[in-house]
A = this chain, B = another copy of it.
Amino acid sequence: MTIATVARRAQVSRQTVSNVLNSPHVVREETRRRVREAIDALGYRASQAARQMRTGRSRLIAVRIEPTRDGINGSVLDRFLHGLTETADAAGYRAMLYTAADATAEIATFDDLLSAYDLDGFVLTGTDHGDPRTAWLAERGVPFVTFGRPWDDPDAHPWVDVDGAAGTAQATRHLLAVGHRRIGFIGWPAGSGVGDDRRAGWREALRAAGVDPTGLDRETVDGIAEGERLAVDLLTAASPPTALVCASDSLALGALQAARAATPSIGTAAPAAAPSAGTAAPAAAPAVPVIGFDDTPVAAAVGLTSVSQPLGDAAARCVDLLTAVLDGPPRTPAPVLLQPSLVLRHTA
């Protein structure tokens, strides 16, 4: 069934059907209705391939599905993907998946996707300083949005992000509010945008409360074992922290073990944790409160208090920004910074 089938049925020319589809306003009301009826009756859908051939647009957006990393932080991705697919759908776009082992491979894939499939745009996740992927895309004028700020230049391209600093600051203030002063931070090595951002939130919140953060933080690559090691290190120091904020749930999980092992005597002011009404939590509050980041399923399962990112929203805004570039005037839409929220459970 083609546009001609519909035209015959509605007693109009093919052109009129095309107009009803693409520029409804130029067709007389009554004719438009008749054509619409024919379309519905026939169950006609325009062929993307033919349309794409003519217009050069595929109505396809690409998003990378990364190899799951440690299995804990990896599981945030499917929430994002679901939101993305749903919103894209509503905007008349479809999401296409691709994988890539590294940035170089990813750029090669861009090229392939662009030249073979005529992709309309890309959604990139996890950007970093001097990301070669964004440079490549920008250079060629390919529309894209990143979930994650361009750390070098906030105006480089459209982006959506979650305010990580606000998240760790909120976590820190929560601990301050219940009486803690010496609050430690376990994060990633300096130099990564997200990592530095999350550390900054903690540091500033502490400073604002008149606490000197010096010596209260440690850094490591992500992982449960690493988190535990650093927490032990921190808790056995000269004047140890009485509570811990972590840059990820993995680190927090490790820290939690160290915290549970720590004797309550360490804390100077360790108030009782609020009994949460959430899902069942396997264990009691640790001697040293711990807060994680990402609100992964694991956090929910073990009762870990964690900073939660609005992933569905983030995905939706990514699509909004991308379609604004694709369908709207050629100006860069304003970036979106979303606020995370603290999900209180048993560990803080």
Contact = CB atoms under 8 A, between A and B. Distances in A.
B81 A65 contact: yes
A77 interface: yes
A49 B53 contact: yes
Contacts of A283: 282-283
Number of identical protomers: 2
A94 B96 CA distance: 7
A53 to B, nearest CB: 5
B78 A68 contact: yes
Given A52-B49, A118-B49, A280-B224, A85 B98 contact: yes
A325 interface: no
Interface string A15-59: 000000000000000000000000000011111111011000010
A82 interface: yes
A95 B65 CA distance: 11
Contact of A95 (B96, B253, B279): B96
A67 interface: yes
Contacts of A113: 94
A283 B301 CA distance: 14
A97 B99 contact: no
A225 interface: yes
Contacts of A44: 115
A112 interface: yes
Contacts of A89: 98-99
Interface string A227-258: 01000000000000000000000000110110
Interface stretch (A151-159, A199-207, A292-300): A292-300
A71 B224 contact: no
Contacts of A112: 45
A302 interface: yes
A230 to B, nearest CB: 13
A341 interface: no
Contact of A49 (B58, B70, B78, B297): B58
Interface string A96-129: 1111000000000001110111100000000000
Contact of A257 (B45, B111, B282): B282
A74 B68 contact: no
A32 to B, nearest CB: 21
B297 A115 contact: no
Interface in A264-280: 279-280
A46 B116 contact: yes
A112 B96 CA distance: 16
A297 B298 CA distance: 7
Contacts of A66: 82
27 contacts: A45-B115, A46-B116, A47-B118, A48-B116, A48-B117, A48-B118, A49-B49, A49-B50, A49-B118, A60-B96, A68-B82, A74-B78, A74-B79, A75-B75, A78-B81, A81-B97, A86-B99, A89-B98, A94-B98, A95-B96, A225-B279, A228-B280, A253-B301, A254-B280, A260-B282, A298-B302, A301-B301
Given A45-B112, A46-B116, 17 more contacts: A47-B53, A47-B115, A47-B116, A49-B52, A53-B53, A60-B96, A65-B81, A68-B78, A71-B297, A72-B297, A72-B300, A74-B297, A77-B78, A81-B81, A86-B99, A97-B97, A282-B302
